[in-house]
Amino acid sequence: MANNVNEKELERQQMVAETVSRTDKFFRENKKTIWGCMGCIVVVALLALAYHQFIFKPKSEEAKFQMATAELNFRNGNYDLALNGDGNVLGFAQIIEDFGAKGGKSIYFYAGACQLQLGNYAEALDLLKKYKGKDEILKARSIACMGDAYVGLENLKAALGCFEKAAATADNIFAAAYLLKAGVVCEELGDNAKALSFYKAIKDKYPTSLEGYDIDKYITRIESQK
């Protein structure tokens, strides 16, 4: 029994020795290639670090600085100035051209919302579709703005889909506004039953919202037609 154990241990040690020997031989035969690959990896890592530190980071900071001014103009309702700038400050359009989304993904939402307010519906859609942020409130607002753009383009079915999706994206008091828009579009499409379902959803789920205070008149108008 002891001999069998010793033989197995000896075989294991021989296998380990052979593996080490093959590994050592492979390294000696290919050491130039291996060191070359390792050198390339180090160089690439250093270049990536340098790019981030000396190119990406400064551009990102500059983009954020320009974004702050454009956002302020947006909040003040100066949509043309916010979008196009005035020669002294950059607008969202120029920031996108110069920096892309380095100042934040929300730039596509702001630029799209500006185009929407200026009545440029197709351009608004192109920009709003590029917004890929994870913030639920802003995502829902972006989708709802797409719905508004489709309304402007008289594509009511697409608009309805956007308003429904916006309401489902963020289950909060803002959803009431999206449901109301969905109901109005349904009435335009002649689907009063579906419109009524949206209005009643506002009454049941968001009675304290601004839309909830006036929703009875929408419900009464449809129910009186039956």
- What secondary structure does DSSP assign to 76-112, as a single string? TT-HHHHHH--SSS--HHHHHHHHTTTT-THHHHHHH
Task: Point out the domain boundary residue: 84, 100, 133.
Answer: 133
Q: Which two tokens stand for residue 163?
A: 């308003």
CA gap 204, 212 in Å, rounded: 9
Residue 181 lies in a domain: yes
Range of the domain at 110: 33-133
Residue 147 lies in a domain: no
Whether residues 126 and 176 fall in one domain: no
How many folded domains does the chain comprise?
Answer: 2
Q: Is the pTM of this model over 0.85?
A: no
Residue 74 lies in a domain: yes
User: What confidence tens digit (pLDDT) does each residue in 12-44 have?
Assistant: 656 655 565 666 566 566 656 655 655 555 444
Whether residues 124 and 187 fall in one domain: no
Q: Please state, rounded to an integer, the average pLDDT across all residues of the chain.
A: 82
Residue 15 lies in a domain: no
